[in-house]
Amino acid sequence: MDKVIVITTNIAPYRLRWCEELSKFFDVTIYYTKDKEKDYNDEFLKHNSDSCHIVKMNNKNDNGLDPLCFDVINIIKQNRNSFIIFDGYGPKTNLLGLLYCKIHGITNYVNVDGYPTERKKSKPKELIKAFVIKNLCQSFFCSGEKTKEHLISYGAKKDNIIIHNFSSITRDRILEQPLSHEEKIEIRKELNIECEGKIVLGEGRFIPLERFEDLIEAVLECKTDCELYLLGGEANESYLKAAKGSRRIHFLNFVLPEDVDKYYKAADLFVLPSETDVWGLVINEAMAQGLPVVVSDSPIGAYSLVDGNGFAFETYNISELSKDIDLCLEDRNNRKMSERSLEIIRDYTIEGMVERQMKTIKDYFKENSSNG
């Protein structure tokens, strides 16, 4: 069986699902550099699979930071006839691997999920980024049109970029139709959620960049009688201060990815107020459960996924966010937006990603075979 190798930093659940889908067609090995990740719960990362080979690179001091694993060179040497995918161009180990491939003329693709929307850009950093994208990276799989435009602006050739509609969900996770209010109430009972009215859900790491304080303040300003459930950890002082002791604001601890769908199903609206986000996979996941979405204009996923199923608001604009939440919770809008979310998200699945990559990978092995 033809071999595909993926070189990455850690094995997030969505990355493993993608590799496992690839493994239905190819012999896939994931080489990764670290078991820990700053700001992520250790239970989030995966280390085993029934269908992929998983190999950790030589990183003796695994402290969650970005390591430089020199054994990437031997990995590439031993797999030079495999289809090589680097998961991102930024990590040190990937940069070393890309440089080695460039020097030795080894074909590879770089997987790019999106890009952080940085407000303040460092000129030296921008120059380095442009050099890497233009000179070290050969070809790309990328998340959407916005990411493609970004890569081209840094010197990538448009003909070398394949859009694969980035996702974290498989087709079987997508609801056939939105749940009724009665169905949501039943799920809330299972989760010990007492609210019988409208629920706004926020989910993610409890870190400053997520801007959950803005979401708390926006919900408190809403005209709609609704409650906010924030899923992801223990409330910090900043969140508690923003909540002002209101009984409308609730905090829920970290939930494993395989358990989070019930919380989406229990809600009426999903909001991501993030200050910056490479893509925002939680948007995909919420839409798959039939939720309208309100997203700041920072996550790159907003530009592909928000289209008649919610709103993209100006980052930090709490008043605009509050108004958008009210509009999405109106009964006449909510059902229609829920149906639109399901319609859009059916084109953003793990299976769809692999289907879009398949021709490129097969063409590579066909060419390699004809060259002896």
- What is the average per-residue pLDDT within 226-230? 97
pLDDT of residue 42: 64
DSSP states along 179-202: PPHHHHHHHHHHTT----SEEEEE
Any idea what DSSP says for residue 255?
-
Q: Which amino acid, residue 18?
A: W
H/E stretch holding 151: helix 145-153
- What is the average per-residue pLDDT within 136-144? 97
Q: Which of 306, 261, 258 is nearest to 279 (CA)?
A: 306
Asked if the domains 3-167+349-370 and 172-345 are classified in one and the same CATH topology, the answer is: yes
For 261-291, the pLDDT digits (tens) are: 999 999 999 999 999 899 999 999 999 999 9
In the chain, where the domains are located: 3-167+349-370, 172-345
Count CB atoms within 10 A of the CB of residue 207. 15
pLDDT above 70 for 113: yes
**Range with lowest mean pLDDT among 12-21, 54-63, 162-171:** 54-63
pLDDT of residue 108: 97
Q: May I ask the CATH class of domain 172-345?
A: alpha beta
> The whole model's pTM is what?
0.93
Q: How many Å separate Cα 50 from the centre of its chain? A: 23
How many whole angstroms separate alpha carbon 328 and alpha carbon 279? Answer: 22
* Residue spans of alpha helices (H) in 171-317: 181-190, 212-221, 237-243, 261-266, 281-288, 302-305
Q: Which residues of 281-315 are buried (b: 16+ CB within 10 A; e: fewer)?
A: bbbbbbbbbbbbbbbbebbbbbbbbbeebbbbbeb
pLDDT of residue 39: 61
pLDDT of residue 296: 97
For 180-192, the pLDDT digits (tens) are: 999 999 999 999 9
pLDDT of residue 350: 98
- What is the average per-residue pLDDT within 92-117? 96
pLDDT above 60 for 372: no
Any idea what DSSP says for residue 28?
E
Superfamily for domain range 3-167+349-370: Glycogen Phosphorylase B; (3.40.50.2000)
**What average pLDDT does the chain have?**
94
For 30-58, the pLDDT digits (tens) are: 999 998 876 666 666 777 899 999 999 99
Q: State how far the alpha carbon of 350 is from the alpha carbons of 93, 168, 187, 327, 333, in Å.
A: 26, 6, 26, 31, 29
The set of residues, in sequence order, having a beta carbon less than 8 Å from that of 243 and lying 6+ positions away, is 216, 220, 235, 249
- What is the average per-residue pLDDT within 202-216? 94
pLDDT of residue 285: 97
Work out the pLDDT band at 74, boundaries 50, 70, 90: very high
pLDDT above 70 for 153: yes
DSSP states along 287-299: HHTT--EEEESSS
The residue length of the chain stands at 372
For 292-345, the pLDDT digits (tens) are: 999 999 999 999 999 999 999 999 999 999 999 999 999 999 999 999 999 999
pLDDT above 80 for 257: no
pLDDT of residue 320: 98
Q: Which position has the higher pLDDT, 44 or 87?
A: 87
pLDDT of residue 254: 82
